[in-house]
Amino acid sequence: VIDIRKLYAQAGVFTYDPGFTSTAACDSTITYIDGEAGVLLHRGYPIDQLAKDSHYLEVCYLLLYGELPSAAQLEEFETLVTRHTMIHEQMHNFFRGFRRDAHPMATMVGVVGAMSAFYHDSTDINDEHQREVASIRLIAKMPTIAAMAYKYSIGQPFVYPRNDLDYASNFLRMCFSVPAEEYEVNPILARAMDRIFTLHADHEQNASTSTVRLASSSGANPFACIAAGIACLWGPAHGGANQACLEMLREIGTPDRIPEFIARAKDKNDPFRLMGFGHRVYKNFDPRAKVMKESADEVLELLGIENNPTLQVAKELERVALEDPYFAEKKLYPNVDFYSGIILDAMGFPTSMFTPIFALARTVGWVSQWKEQLADPQLKIGRPRQLYLGATQRDYVDIENR
Ligand code: ACO
């Protein structure tokens, strides 16, 4: 068998590909995207089927283990995840060390990184059992951590997980329950929450997933790797776009101001971009955006707020942008973040929680890709090369002679 990587290394060949627009850094069997056709498959299954007919924990199982579970396997997996939803009690003190006005993403980067200290019995990446325990711990505890980051930021007491609830309902309750009254989870909202989780579960080698893989290639522990992924996701060009998009829609405010914002997005001297529009890989509709749009309509109707002005601005903005030659030429279409914020807002989440929700949903994707990478017998440390454009060799000059 010819090891092509060795051959290239020996030949001293390297490609110059800023932003990795056409460089595959790994092989994978988890997620397939056809950006031209707007297709997204997890282990072969189309995302719209998974979002409509499956549910998040089943999709987690599929991503992690490669096949849809039998009823018994699913029950066992759900029980396992449910049993790990609590976080170490000492971690409460860790939360309390943060300023109350910290962004919940800042808190999450810190807390998830700190899991290496609280759960060091599952940091040995060479031990298969420890790898499995770390995976389950991350998927199970992430909703608890995200909800705690939220509760802490609004000055309310933490709410412990309730293990008789499903994953999405449990998260909603941990976010919205207050001590004086028991929070009744609305099943419509729980289903919509679960769908948002499913739509964000994995997306092959995006920036945060590549960050997780690069961190892990050095042998770093799983909690440190996922914390690195959260840090990368936070940026407005990636996961931070959902917060930025809703803020933009609110700033536009009314459909009559749309032309002004479209003009700004097209102006090369203005750094403004239409948030929730465009994608590195999709040069057609993001299939997740289609499901998200349907979900937004459904949720707002069921909540009796069909006349939501933000949704109206979003729909009109989408219509105007899609008819504009600038967006057509550059193949810019709504992405997953365009409608997700409207649903989250209707559920009662502040914009600062949008990206933490993305992070918790994407955790299974990061973990699946991390596991896949560790199982690769040819795994090498990730070490991109560079095209050096700096000074050629020169002699040091004493400070008095400069
Ligand atoms: N509004 C206006 N123009 C845009 C937009 C946009 N949202 N997105 C891209 N363009 C333009 C660029 O100005 C560029 O024009 P040029 O060729 O004249 O210079 C061209 O389209 C190509 O854009 P790039 O930035 O080179 O494309 P890239 O693949 O690197 O970027 C990205 C993709 C980052 C998603 C970009 O489209 C963007 O910034 N979108 C807004 C932020 C956003 O919604 N991010 C979420 C992505 S999905 C996710 O992470 C879940």
Lay out the sheet containing 45-46: strands in order across. 31-34, 39-42, 45-46
pLDDT tens-place string over residues 274-291: 999 999 899 988 999 999
Which are the contacts of 293, defined by CB distance < 8 A and separation ≥ 6? 334, 338, 339
Separation in Å, CA 275 to CA 211, 287, 290, 332, 397: 22, 17, 16, 11, 49
pLDDT tens-place string over residues 237-262: 899 889 899 999 999 999 999 999 99
Residue 233 CA: which ligand 1 atom is closest?
A: 50
Distance 265 CA to ligand 1 centre (A): 10
**Best residue among 208, 327, 332 to mutate for probing ligand 1, ranked by most atoms within 8 Å of CB:** 332
Q: Of 33-47, 187-201, 331-345, which range is least confident?
A: 331-345
- 122-138: b or e for each residue (b if 16 or more CB lie within 10 Å)? bbebeeeebbebbbbbb
pLDDT tens-place string over residues 57-85: 999 999 999 999 999 999 999 999 999 99
Which residue has its alpha carbon closest to ligand 1 atom 4?
Answer: 273
Who lines ligand 1 at CB under 6 A?
19, 237-239, 241, 265, 273-280, 330, 332, 335-337
Distance 278 CA to ligand 1 centre (A): 5
Which residue has its alpha carbon closest to ligand 1 atom 29?
Answer: 280
Rounded Cα gap, residues 33 and 86, in angstroms: 35
**Best residue among 209, 273, 286 to mutate for probing ligand 1, ranked by most atoms within 8 Å of CB:** 273
Contact 130, 122 (CB under 8 A): yes
Average pLDDT over residues 193-211: 97
pLDDT at residue number 298: 87
**Could you count the other beta carbons within 10 Å of the beta carbon of residue 264?**
14
Structural element, H or E, at residue 251: helix 241-252
**Best residue among 277, 344, 355, 358 to mutate for probing ligand 1, ranked by most atoms within 8 Å of CB:** 277
Distance 374 CA to ligand 1 centre (A): 32
Which residue has its alpha carbon closest to ligand 1 atom 30?
Answer: 280
pLDDT at 5 over 80: no
Residue 206 CA: which ligand 1 atom is closest?
A: 50
pLDDT at residue number 300: 87
Average pLDDT over residues 109-129: 96
Distance 279 CA to ligand 1 centre (A): 6
Rounded Cα gap, residues 247 and 237, in angstroms: 14
286 tagged catalytic? no
pLDDT at 162 over 80: yes
Mean pLDDT value across the chain: 93
279 tagged catalytic? yes
Q: Residue 243 corresponds to which tokens in the numbers above?
A: 């917060």
Which residue has its alpha carbon closest to ligand 1 atom 9?
Answer: 278
pLDDT at residue number 181: 80
pLDDT at residue number 13: 74
pLDDT at residue number 1: 63
Average pLDDT over residues 191-211: 97
Closest C-alpha to 28, from 161, 209, 190? 209
Rounded Cα gap, residues 355 and 75, in angstroms: 29
Rounded Cα gap, residues 233 and 209, in angstroms: 9
* 200, 279, 286, 345: the active-site residue: 279
**Residue 381 pLDDT level (bands cut at 50, 70, 90):** very high
Interface ipTM above 0.85: yes
pLDDT tens-place string over residues 287-326: 999 999 898 888 888 888 777 888 889 989 999 999 999 9
**Residue 108 pLDDT level (bands cut at 50, 70, 90):** very high
pLDDT at residue number 34: 95
Distance 300 CA to ligand 1 centre (A): 29
pLDDT at residue number 213: 98
